[in-house]
A = this chain, B = another copy of it.
Amino acid sequence: MTLTAATPAFAESLRPHLPARAFRDPEPRYLEEPRGRWAGQAGVIVAPETTAQVAAVIRAAAEARVPVVPYGGGTGLVGGQVMPDGPAPVLLSLERMAAIRAVYPRENLLIAEAGAILSDVHDAATAEQRVFPLSIASKGSARIGGTLATNAGGVNVLRYGNARDLCLGIEAVLPDGRIWNGLSRLRKDNTGYDLRDLLIGSEGTLGVITAATLKLFAQPAAEGTALMVVDSPAAALDLLALARDHLGEGISAFELMHRTGLQFLAETLPDIRQPFATPPEWFVLIDLGLARGLDPAEALERLFGAGLEAGLVSDGLIAQSQAQRTAFWEVREQIPEANRRIGSVSSHDISVPLGAIPDFIARATARITGLGEFRVNCFGHLGDGNLHFNVFPAPGRSKATYAGQRGAVQQAVHDLVHELQGSISAEHGIGRLKVSDLERYGDPVKLELMRSLKSLFDPAGIMNPGAVLRQIQASF
């Protein structure tokens, strides 16, 4: 039995279960994605207000074999939130389930509905002198359900882990409409299989997360930031090891940047203050969050001194004020915007084993150079082995002139990542963008298991069809 489109008749079948305001107009925002690669479609758009209403929608969709596309903030970069072809789905927006249900400061956790916006979760934590550390560029519009569905990363993974690590439990609606209440507030619970981590990162293909218990942390007593010039990516790795010897888990972020990033900022965002008089080839941003009794600026000076002695760093800037910290971070945070303005031929969100990073950067750059005239801007979360290796037109040339080369660029990068036992999607997920890549590079046994799990959870194949796994025609 094949899937069928969400028709007006299907919408009618939902009316007994949903208030009238839950039916949404087809505003363009629901059908766009940030990179503009796909146009989505939707036969019906609903925004339920309760978990029971979500379950009613899914049950109806399962009965009618209507595809369901769960929709959070719409900020995903791999097309997991748009279904461009096939029968028009019911788009299930979580935007009206945006409550922070409860905050437990003593337990260092809160319970948020899937539609809660990431920055609202930050604010709820701050109000109790706590931190929810997951932070990504789209935090003002990304919603918790989506960050969990894609196991989002960001700049604090080094210290606090990714979305999966920050979640104690979830409530979810399964593809047959059953509600699983796994909203645990427990730090330790060894009673059976880990279903939470199976749904987290499954990009809406195994069910819809409707709420989550999220871990909070004590606010660091003091924070500090430095930019340090390193000789090479290898020196940056050694500096990271040195920093860990000095400061253990006090390192909140360790980000690598290249001169090209500074050049792109100068070209496209000239108001951003350039930190160095002479832009260095490679430099790192180090962010600390320390316990009471330690002065971050002193700790960074000691680290810089040790790095200088070890021949790892040659220059450095230590923020002397919160304004300077913000300025240093702005350099890092505006690089993606500068990239967007330059316009990439191909972007790659990859990870490799930490020790393979220098080799990866050297060989990937050589392979790209061998393909033609390009500019490479490589930057990212060095401490996580996660680089954004982005390829741009040579100066004066337009992106359009490279249209025929994008595939070759991407394959050159991904083949090398695979050789080095890396991942072709470190933090963005598979979505619809990387389905073929997963098939090409993924472990065959893992892929077989994933397909089996998909069939087990969602035999009719209604949940986000075509995301993560190529759509298999359901027949039974």
* Contacts from A to B (Cβ < 8 Å): 104-108, 129, 150-151, 153, 157, 162, 164-165, 174, 178-182, 184-195, 197-198, 200-202, 206, 217-221, 237-238, 241, 244-250, 289-294, 298-299, 302, 351-355, 381, 383-386, 421-430, 434, 438, 441-443, 445-450, 452-453, 456, 468
Give the chain B neighbours of A153 by CB distance below 8 A.
188, 190
Picked from B157, B184, B187, B248, the residue with its CB within 8 Å of the CB of A188 is B157
A100 to B157, CA, bound (A): 27
A456 to B182, CA, bound (A): 22
- Closest beta carbon of chain B to A166's beta carbon, Å: 11
Please determine whether B294 and A186 come into contact, CB atoms closer than 8 angstroms. no
Please determine whether B438 and A179 come into contact, CB atoms closer than 8 angstroms. no
Please determine whether B106 and A191 come into contact, CB atoms closer than 8 angstroms. no
- Closest beta carbon of chain B to A10's beta carbon, Å: 26
Picked from B423, B447, B456, the residue with its CB within 8 Å of the CB of A452 is B456
Q: How many copies does the complex hold?
A: 2
- Closest beta carbon of chain B to A296's beta carbon, Å: 10
A367 to B142, CA, bound (A): 47
- Closest beta carbon of chain B to A294's beta carbon, Å: 5
Please determine whether A446 and B180 come into contact, CB atoms closer than 8 angstroms. yes
Known: A192-B442, A452-B456, A453-B456. 13 other contacts (CB 8 A): A182-B443, A186-B352, A187-B354, A188-B427, A191-B423, A191-B434, A191-B441, A194-B200, A220-B248, A248-B289, A248-B291, A250-B291, A456-B456
Please determine whether B426 and A188 come into contact, CB atoms closer than 8 angstroms. yes
Please determine whether A190 and B428 come into contact, CB atoms closer than 8 angstroms. yes
Would you mind naming 7 contact pairs between A and B with Cβ atoms under 8 Å apart? A153-B190, A157-B187, A193-B206, A248-B289, A250-B291, A291-B299, A293-B298
A181 to B421, CA, bound (A): 12
